């Protein structure tokens, strides 16, 4: 099996892993016109314009776009959206151009945002934008969501098409946010049976979750034959999350990532929810290792954030102790219903692929036009960092020992 080429979008440009070829890549900030490929232009423009200091002047617009409450306006809100959305868009483009086999954007995965409004601390739906990019090159995209909350924004965006199959495993019932995601929600028109929901109750554990996940995802891939997979890895499904109610350990959560990787399809991985921050960091660290086939030691090495991982300073967390309300009969009923719906898909839909539209023009930094007397912001400086496998003569020689990185 060929080694995976993996790129990770991040705020720094680093080097390669010794086990797998991994590039850490700085994405561009998404342009408003890119965000408007899914979101309404007026909503994007308002996000661009609103600030904490001016929000009191726009009470009607704040209500219309669902800003405030759990979607507050904060300083540099629009830049925040541009950064995480640009990461997912660039991850999709790198997969499309076969620059990597797996692309990760842990800052992405904001799956609740709708076309014309924010929802659940999600302002721009980077997942929808990334999937739209992937659809330029792939006839069928499979979206999988293991956040504790239903992936409603992504499902809604593709509810009427068979070109994207959405599969969400989430807590459902008891007025749990966002209140959607019943097993009966299956898509409509051309998208009928292409939305799959796996509604779960409090306390599901590793064994029950991973068994159900593997059974359903195996059948989905076998039936739908996707060309690429998008996996949203919300960490609020972990035990001990402040808003979650599942009993998953990091090993259980990561087992889902490991299973999806084994299909050897192009894979875009994002973050998502997670409200016990030290466990979010633990989880996505372990899952980066999984995607690199690298086992990490359980002892967290000394670093500037080590105090957050006291008292044991370990990478793994145990299962939770919430009562598991998911009986075997309940899970069996859900499984049977989902598999029955998949039977209505006789074969993967064929798509007449049109000419692939070009990527948006992304202006590059021009060294010749830089005034050396002007102060350069950090983002611009980072764009000038060369990869470690690029070499230059003389003053620009970038050859260096890997230990120095």
Tell me how far CA of residue 360 lies from CA of 86, 96, 99, 170, 180, in angstroms.
12, 14, 17, 35, 34
- Position 10 scores a pLDDT of 55
Q: Is 244 annotated as a binding residue?
A: no
pLDDT digits (tens, 9 = 90+) for 171-200: 999 999 999 999 999 999 999 999 999 999
Q: Is 293 annotated as a binding residue?
A: no
pLDDT digits (tens, 9 = 90+) for 354-382: 555 666 544 443 334 444 444 445 555 44
Residues 288, 277: Cα–Cα separation, whole Å: 17
- Position 17 scores a pLDDT of 33
Mean pLDDT of 209-227: 98
Q: SS3 for 189-248, per residue? A: HHHCCCEEEEEECCCCCHHHHHHHHHHHHHHHHHHHCCCEEEEECCHHHECCCCCCCCCE
- Position 350 scores a pLDDT of 64
- Position 318 scores a pLDDT of 81
Are 326 and 208 in contact by the 8 Å Cβ rule? The answer is yes
- Position 1 scores a pLDDT of 44
Q: Is 151 annotated as a binding residue?
A: no
Task: Catalytic residue, from 39, 112, 137, 253: name it.
Answer: 112
CA nearest neighbour of 105 among 124, 87, 126: 87
Are 257 and 287 in contact by the 8 Å Cβ rule? The answer is yes
Q: Which tokens in the block code for residue 302?
A: 């000394």
Q: Is 147 annotated as a binding residue?
A: yes
Q: Is 70 annotated as a binding residue?
A: yes
Of all residues in the chain, what percent carry a pLDDT higher than 90? 78
Q: Is 112 a catalytic residue?
A: yes
- Position 319 scores a pLDDT of 84
> Taking 70 as the threshold, does the pLDDT of residue 388 lie above it?
no
State the pLDDT confidence band at 205, using cuts at 50, 70 and 90: very high
pLDDT digits (tens, 9 = 90+) for 38-77: 999 999 999 999 999 999 999 999 999 999 989 999 999 9
pLDDT digits (tens, 9 = 90+) for 110-157: 999 999 999 999 999 999 999 999 999 999 999 999 999 999 999 999
Q: Is 275 annotated as a binding residue?
A: yes
- Within its chain, how far is the Cα of 184 from the centroid? 25
> Taking 80 as the threshold, does the pLDDT of residue 398 lie above it?
no
- Position 282 scores a pLDDT of 97
Q: Rounded to 5 degrees, what angle do the CA atoms 166, 250, 207 make?
A: 70
Q: CA gyration radius for the chain?
A: 22
> Taking 60 as the threshold, does the pLDDT of residue 285 lie above it?
yes
Query: Backbone phi, then psi, for 373, in 5-degree steps?
Result: -85, -10
């Amino acid at each position: 099996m060929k080694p995976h080429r993996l790129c990770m979008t991040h705020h720094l440009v680093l080097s390669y892993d010794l086990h797998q070829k991994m590039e850490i890549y700085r994405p561009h900030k998404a342009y408003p016109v890119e965000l408007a490929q899914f979101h309404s232009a007026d909503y994007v423009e308002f996000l661009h314009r609103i600030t904490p200091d001016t929000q009191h002047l726009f009470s009607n617009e704040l209500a219309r776009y669902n800003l405030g409450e759990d979607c507050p306006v904060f300083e540099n809100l629009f830049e925040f959206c541009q950064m995480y959305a640009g990461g997912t868009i660039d991850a999709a483009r790198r997969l499309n151009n076969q620059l990597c086999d797996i692309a990760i954007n842990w800052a992405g995965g904001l799956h609740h945002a709708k076309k014309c409004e924010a929802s659940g601390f999600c302002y721009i739906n980077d997942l929808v934008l990334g999937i739209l990019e992937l659809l330029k090159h792939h006839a069928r995209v499979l979206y999988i969501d293991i956040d504790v909350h239903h992936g409603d924004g992504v499902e809604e965006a593709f509810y009427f098409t068979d070109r994207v199959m959405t599969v969400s495993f989430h807590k459902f019932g008891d007025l749990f946010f966002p209140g959607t995601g019943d097993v009966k929600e299956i898509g409509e028109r051309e998208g009928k049976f292409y939305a799959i929901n796996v509604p779960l109750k409090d306390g599901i554990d590793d064994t029950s979750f991973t068994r159900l996940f593997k059974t359903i995802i195996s059948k989905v891939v076998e039936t739908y034959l996707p060309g690429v997979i998008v996996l949203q890895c919300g960490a609020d499904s972990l035990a001990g999350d402040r808003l979650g109610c599942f009993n998953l350990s990091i090993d259980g959560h990561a087992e889902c990532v490991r299973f999806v990787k084994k299909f050897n399809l192009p894979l875009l991985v994002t973050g998502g929810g997670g409200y016990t921050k030290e466990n979010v960091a633990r989880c996505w660290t372990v899952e980066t290792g999984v995607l690199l086939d690298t086992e990490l030691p359980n002892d967290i090495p000394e670093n500037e954030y080590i105090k957050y991982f006291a008292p044991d300073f370990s990478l793994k967390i145990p299962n939770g102790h919430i009562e598991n309300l998911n009986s075997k009969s309940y899970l069996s009923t859900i499984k049977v219903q989902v598999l029955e719906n998949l039977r209505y898909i006789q074969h993967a839909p064929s798509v007449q692929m049109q000419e692939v539209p070009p990527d948006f023009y992304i202006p590059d930094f021009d060294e010749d036009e830089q005034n050396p007397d002007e102060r350069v912001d950090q983002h611009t400086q980072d764009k000038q960092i060369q990869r470690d496998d690029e070499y230059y003569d003389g003053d620009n020689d970038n050859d260096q020992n890997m230990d120095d990185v």
